Amino acid sequence: MEATMTLEDVTKVFGHGDVSVRAVDGVSLTVQAGEVVLVMGPSGSGKTTLLALAGCLLRPTTGRVWFREREVTTLGEGGQAALRRTQIGFIFQHFNLLSALTARENVELVLGLTGRDRSDARRTASGVLGELGLGKRLDFLPGVLSGGEQQRVAVARALASDPAVILADEPTANLDSRSGRQVAGLLADAAHRLGKAVVIVSHDHRLTTIADRIVWMEDGRIVPEPPLDGRIVSEPLLT
């Protein structure tokens, strides 16, 4: 299998001196095409920071990030933005749809950013949303969609431009269990059927069933096993 996303001894320090926080501390991680990597760990252990580093939303203090054979840490702001819009699809806990745009327009917009012409973007957006069961919600604004529907629109937006990597931060945390299962299924499908490298950060235990690999984090480091106090495992599945 091909290594799609590689983090090489990556450290992220926020702040300076006494108030500095070592949010990610010397992490190395490789994600292959077609696999789901689930990152788990207690609150504040650096999971979101790790995801942002992988997604070129943050620059590491030290260490390097690679997309396929290309080092992305050396890219300028414009180069990183281009990589995000073409190769990385994001899914967030708070959906983050553009509130002024309908479901279809949200998806069309990211296609437009990559230079797709309008009618093509429109067709693709309708197609992807239709596959995710949102064919009847195309012209709805996010404000009138349920949480589960909004997150499926977000998944559609992440998948629409056919990126190699999907990065999801707590994608099921704000969803009821049925919607959570649905989104989990979509993410598994993205990896196993569409061959994307999928990284999911979550506390949600249900997601372990779709994970090919689970990475445990504690205090910014990857640890070989779940933290001994068992916080993760005993946490309620839904919040």
Partner 1 sequence: MVRLAMKMLLRDRIRFGVTTLGVAAAVVLILALNGLFSGAARQITSYIDQSGADLFIAQQGVYNMHMATSVLPGDLAPRIETAPGVDQAVPMAFFATNIEVEGTRHLVYLIALPPEAPFGGAWKVSAGKGLAAPGEVILARDLADKHDLALGSRILVQGRSLRVTGLAEELSSMASSFAFISLGDAQAIRGSGPTAAYYLVRIAAGADPSGVAESIRLKIPEVNPMTTAELSMSDREIGLQMGVDVLRAMAVAGFLVGLAVVGLSVYTTVVEQLRQFGILKAVGAGRGHLLHCFLLQSQVMALAGFAVGVVLTWILRLAVPYLVLGMELDLEPAYLLLTLGEVLVIGALAAVPPWLRVSRLDPMVVFRS
Which residues make up the interface to ligand ATP (CB under 6 A)? Answer: 14-15, 21, 23, 41, 43-49
Stretch that binds partner 1, among 15-23, 50-58, 202-210, 221-229 (CB under 8 A): 50-58
Question: How many residues in the chain?
Answer: 239
Burial classification of residue 4, based on how many CB atoms lie within 10 Å of its CB (0-12 exposed, 13-18 middle, 19 or more buried): buried
DSSP reduced 3-state for 232: helix
Q: Of these partners, ligand ATP, Mg ion, partner 1, none, which one is at the site of residue 57 (CB under 5 to 8 Å by kind)?
A: partner 1
Q: What pairs with residue 214 in β-bridges?
A: 38
Residue 86 binds to partner 1 (criterion: CB under 8 A): yes
C-beta separation of 101 from 153 below 8 A: no
Q: Tell me how far, at minimum, the Cβ of 116 lies from Mg ion, in Å.
A: 32
Name the residue nearer to partner 1 (CB basis): 24 or 35: 24
Residue 48 binds to Mg ion (criterion: CB under 5 A): yes
DSSP reduced 3-state for 41: coil
Residue 45 binds to Mg ion (criterion: CB under 5 A): no
Q: Angle at which helices 103-113 and 118-131 pack, to 10 degrees?
A: 130
The count of chain residues that interact with Mg ion, using the rule CB under 5 A, is: 1
Distance CA 184, CA 172 (A): 8
Q: Which residues bind partner 1 (CB under 8 A)?
A: 48, 52, 55, 57-58, 77-78, 81-86, 88, 90, 92-94, 96-101, 105, 109-110, 112-114, 157, 169
